[in-house]
Amino acid sequence: MLKVTNLHVSVFGTSILKGVDLEVNAGEVHAIMGPNGSGKSTLSNVIAGRDGYEITEGSIEYMGKDLSELEAEERACEGIFLAFQYPVEIPGVSNMAMLKAAINSMRKHRGEKEMTAGDFLKLIRERADLVEMKHEFLKRSVNEGFSGGEKKRNEILQMAMLEPKLALLDETDSGLDIDALKIVSQGVNALRSPDRAMVLVTHYQRLLDYIIPDHVHVLAGGRIVKSGDKSLALELEEKGYSWLEGGTNAAASLEQVAN
Amino acid sequence: MSEALEQELNEKNRDLKDLVKREYKEGFVTDVESDTFEPGLNEDVVRRISAKKNEPEFMLEYRLKAFRRWQKMKEPDWAHIDYPKIDFQKIAYYSAPKEMPKLDSLDQVDPKILETYEKLGIPLYEQKLLANVAVDAVFDSVSVRTTFRETLSEAGVIFMPISEAVHEHPELIKKYLSSVVPVQDNYYTALNSAVFSDGSFVYIPPGVRCPMELSTYFRINEMNTGQFERTLIIADEGAYVSYLEGCTAPQRDENQLHAAVVELVAHKDAEIKYSTVQNWYPGDENGKGGIFNFVTKRGVCKGDNSKISWTQVETGSAITWKYPSVVLQGDNSVGEFYSVALTHNKQQADTGTKMIHMGKNTSSTIISKGISAGHGQNTYRGLVKILKGADNARNFSQCDSLLMGDRCGAHTFPYMEVQNPSANLEHEATTSKISEDQLFYLKQRGLSEEAAVSMIVNGFCKEVFRELPMEFAVEAQKLLDISLEGAVG
């Protein structure tokens, strides 16, 4: 489904990704781990098509298409979903209104008719229950006045509503207490399906106690330095990222990024 | 805002996305034979206007007095607007379609005029009317049609062109005309008082809740003509009325002047809700043409427990100079001002409100949303004045500005004058930009850039839109989207 080949990405002239290779198939869950500043968020942002992320070398292929040809909204309509690390607030626009517009925009892209108001209501109530979100949140402005945990739960609700083919979850566990982490994980697990691929970007292993990945990759210094199964995550937890630092010097690249 | 409305607004949003870059669709000219005065203004012109209207002597005197005052006055220059000097001798002060119809028979209205309103979405045949909205249609200087007059008169409501009210209800006109906005209030009120030719008159008798929305649709058609309309609304004790005005004009290279005066009087326990969707021709993207909109609107909460609420959505005009105000005279009276003002291309707006607290326990709310795009300049100018006797007065003001691009401007001038220590005033102001983060977030959810901008802007205006009657809220949102075409990207 997703094929990243020798990907080099610069953000405002600073080179962040330096040759990433990654292949994700339908039905798989991949975890991308790594120290802060290793390029994890850059990877998810560049796949989602954020402005300012320049591919200087290599390619991203999705469902056989070169992604660089598509605008961010086209990628979304083609089934790529990004759960944001820092979901933004949109004052005056209700969660419901935004989701309804999103769903219908995607349906239109696929040449389908708009969803009826009744079907939409039914669906959103059902999916809100999945992430244990009170229905009153649906009428509130997008993320406005939400706590950190509520914002993340709202991201999972949106994912559940939009039913993507490829879901990128960017540090979805950050800022969550253990209860919220469980709820979010339940939501994610419920959405696992043979047609859907997920890429979890995370700093900590603990998310992977709840969402068991098929593959784990360690991103450091702009490259994937190690890949394995879920046991790799445990090993990392035990030994820390410095264990991998030897050849890649992640700490040094980290400083470069910061500067 | 109700769910249904929200959904509807949303659907509108998506339809708009498909619109290609469009032009001002109300910009057409109606080819109708008209009786238009030669440009120029002198005492004789004032007399001729009065004679055209067959006015009683008291009106002619009123006009002449106003004209003489005006001659001694100077144009105000304190607003944050920049425009070429207006040559008042180059404007025609009266224009009416020939073959003036009798108002009770639609058959006599020139079909071209009916067609004009049809095109504007304001059908004047009663069977096609918007349910529950009575319309007074003002074409250049005259009212061509007032709908639902019989239904309204059964309830005791008077809704008619002011030119007729002068004849039919002279006692009310004498009592209330210029009772809220004195003739000499400012340069444009004096001018308007001298030359106004039509507008709407509304009187709601004691205890009556007006059974439908009243609305006036103003249309400037003739070239080089100014529109000077006059609106007077009186809600007697315990009465309620909701009134809406809309306005459009053809697309022309020359600037045209619109100088209106609106006066509202709310007696004890009465409430007046006045909404405006202003879409005068804004000029082209280089600032050529467009309406100069110099308007004075003021209401007085005369009796105790009365309430006046202004809601305005200002998307048109090259220049907007307008401060709908409330004088809170009665104890416990309430004044509200909800405003969305949008300036795009070279448009300039200097708008806001004045809340004058006189009675005890009076309260006022000001919510102003300014949107600037292109080279647009948007100024909020407001005054909250608490007089000595106004014990326990309260005001809440919120002025938010949204900037799109880096060539536009937003300015806020909130004035406060407090003469009573028991007053409680709150003021909040924000200036924001549509952030890249917000745009990317919505695009990542599958929305196009235009749809994303529209959603963010409409969210920004929501507190004001929810004050509008439902049909007009949808209209206002549509207008905003259209006015912002090409503002991004």
Q: Are A187 and A172 in contact (CB under 8 A)?
A: no
Structure tokens at B375: 């080279």
The nearest alpha carbon in chain B to A106 belongs to B446
Mean pLDDT of the region A148-160: 93
If residue A13 lies in a helix (H) or strand (E), which one and from where to where? none
Buried b (16+ CB within 10 A) or exposed e, B166-200: beebeebbeebbbebbebbbbbbbbbbbbbbbbbb
| pLDDT > 90 fraction of chain B, expressed in percent and rounded | 46
Q: Residues 45..64 of A with a Cβ closer than 8 Å to B: which?
A: 48-51
How far, in Å, CA of A104 to CA of A109, rounded? Answer: 8
Structure tokens at A11: 């953000």
What pLDDT score does B289 carry? 82
Which residues in chain B have their CB less than 8 angstroms from residue A117's CB? 4, 7
What pLDDT score does B399 carry? 94
What pLDDT score does A175 carry? 80
The answer to whether the CB atoms of A105 and B14 lie below 8 A apart is yes
3-state secondary structure B92-148: ECCEEECCCCCCCCHHHCCHHHHHHHHHCCCCCCHHHCCCCEEEEEEECCEEEEECC
Q: Using alpha carbons, list the distances in angstroms from residue B458 to B3, B275, B369.
A: 15, 18, 11
Q: Are B483 and B315 in contact (CB under 8 A)?
A: yes
Structure tokens at A218: 């360690």
Count each helix (H run) and each strand (E run) in chain A, helices first. Answer: 11, 12
The answer to whether the CB atoms of A101 and B461 lie below 8 A apart is no
Interface mutation target, options A90, A139, A146, chain B, most CBs of B under 10 Å? A90
Which residues in chain B have their CB less than 8 angstroms from residue A100's CB? 7, 10
Instruction: Please give the DSSP secondary-structure letter assigned to residue A76.
Output: H
Among B488, B10, B401, B435, residue whose Cα is nearest residue A88: B435
Among B229, B467, B220, residue whose Cα is nearest residue B368: B467
Structure tokens at A39: 């390029």
The answer to whether the CB atoms of A158 and B445 lie below 8 A apart is yes
Q: Characterise A39 by phi-psi region: left (phi > 0), alpha (psi -120 to 50), beta (else).
A: left
Contact status of A26 with chain B (Cβ, < 8 Å): no
CA A68 to chain centroid: 18
Q: Are B26 and B247 in contact (CB under 8 A)?
A: no
The nearest alpha carbon in chain B to A85 belongs to B441
How far, in Å, CA of B1 to CA of B198, rounded? Answer: 36
**Whole-number mean pLDDT of chain A?**
90
Contact status of B440 with chain A (Cβ, < 8 Å): yes
Q: Phi and psi dihedrals of A98, rounded to 5? A: -65, -45
Alpha-carbon Rg for chain B, nearest whole angstrom, is 22
Contact status of A88 with chain B (Cβ, < 8 Å): yes
Which residues in chain B have their CB less than 8 angstroms from residue A72's CB? 440, 443-444
Interface mutation target, options A45, A74, A82, A98, chain B, most CBs of B under 10 Å? A98
Q: Which amino acid is at B17?
A: K
Q: pTM (2 decimals)?
A: 0.82
Q: Characterise B99 by phi-psi region: left (phi > 0), alpha (psi -120 to 50), beta (else).
A: left
What pLDDT score does A48 carry? 96
How far, in Å, CA of B230 to CA of B451, rounded? Answer: 39
Instruction: Please give the DSSP secondary-structure letter assigned to residue A258.
Output: H
Tokens 């005197």 belong to which residue? B61
The pLDDT-based confidence of B308 (bands split at 50, 70, 90) is: very high
| pLDDT > 70 fraction of chain B, expressed in percent and rounded | 80
How far, in Å, CA of B344 to CA of A37, rounded? Answer: 41
Sign of CA dihedral B139, B145, B151, B152: positive
Q: Are B432 and A70 in contact (CB under 8 A)?
A: no
The answer to whether the CB atoms of B447 and A101 lie below 8 A apart is yes
The pLDDT-based confidence of B128 (bands split at 50, 70, 90) is: very low
Mean pLDDT of the region B44-53: 91
How far, in Å, CA of A108 to CA of A230, rounded? Answer: 39
The nearest alpha carbon in chain A to B441 belongs to A88
Q: Model confidence over B339-362: pLDDT tens digits?
A: 999 888 888 999 999 999 999 999
Mean pLDDT of the region B12-36: 56
The pLDDT of residue A79 is above 90 = yes
Instruction: Please give the DSSP secondary-structure letter assigned to residue B198.
Output: B
The pLDDT of residue B131 is above 70 = no
ipTM of the complex in this document: 0.92
Tell me the pairing of strands B363-372 and B394-403: parallel
Q: In 10 A of CB A122, how many CB atoms?
A: 12
* Residues in contact with B380: Cβ distance below 8 Å, sequence separation at least 6, in sequence order: B341, B351, B352, B368, B370, B399, B401, B411, B412, B413, B414
Among B362, B309, B317, B363, residue whose Cα is nearest residue B339: B309
Contact status of A141 with chain B (Cβ, < 8 Å): yes
Q: Which amino acid is at A63?
A: M
What pLDDT score does B125 carry? 57
Instruction: Please give the DSSP secondary-structure letter assigned to residue B21.
Output: S
Mean pLDDT of the region B126-150: 63
Q: Give the best-scoring range by mean pLDDT among A35-39, B292-296, B464-468.
A: B292-296
Burial of A200 (0-12, 13-18, 19+ CB in 10 A): buried
What pLDDT score does A237 carry? 80
What pLDDT score does B357 carry? 98
CA B234 to chain centroid: 17
Q: Phi and psi dihedrals of A125, rounded to 5? A: -65, -45
How far, in Å, CA of B224 to CA of B232, rounded? Answer: 26
Which residues in chain A have their CB less than 8 angstroms from residue B437's CB? 86, 88
Q: Model confidence over A163-222: pLDDT tens digits?
A: 999 999 999 888 888 888 888 899 899 999 999 999 999 988 888 999 999 999 999 999
The pLDDT-based confidence of B417 (bands split at 50, 70, 90) is: very high
Q: Phi and psi dihedrals of B76, rounded to 5? A: -70, 145
Q: Give the bridge partners for B37, in sequence order.
A: none
- Closest-CA distance, B11 to chain A, in angstroms, reads 8
Buried b (16+ CB within 10 A) or exposed e, B275-303: bbbbbbbbbbeebebbbbbbbbbbbbbbb
**A92 → closest Cβ in B14, B443, B460:** B460
- Name which of A75-79, B123-127, B224-228 the model is least confident about: B123-127
Which residues in chain B have their CB less than 8 angstroms from residue A97's CB? 6-7, 9-10, 455
What pLDDT score does A125 carry? 95
Count of residues making up chain B: 489
The pLDDT-based confidence of B124 (bands split at 50, 70, 90) is: low
What pLDDT score does B37 carry? 84
Q: Are B267 and B239 in contact (CB under 8 A)?
A: yes
What pLDDT score does A255 carry? 42
Which residues in chain B have their CB less than 8 angstroms from residue A136's CB? none
Which residues in chain B have their CB less than 8 angstroms from residue A108's CB? 14
Q: Quick check: helix, strand or coil at residue A220?
A: strand
Q: Phi and psi dihedrals of B145, rounded to 5? A: -170, 135
The pLDDT of residue B202 is above 80 = yes
**B441 → closest Cβ in A88, A100, A139:** A88
Buried b (16+ CB within 10 A) or exposed e, B311-340: bbbbbbbbbbbbbbbbbbbbbbbbbbbbbb
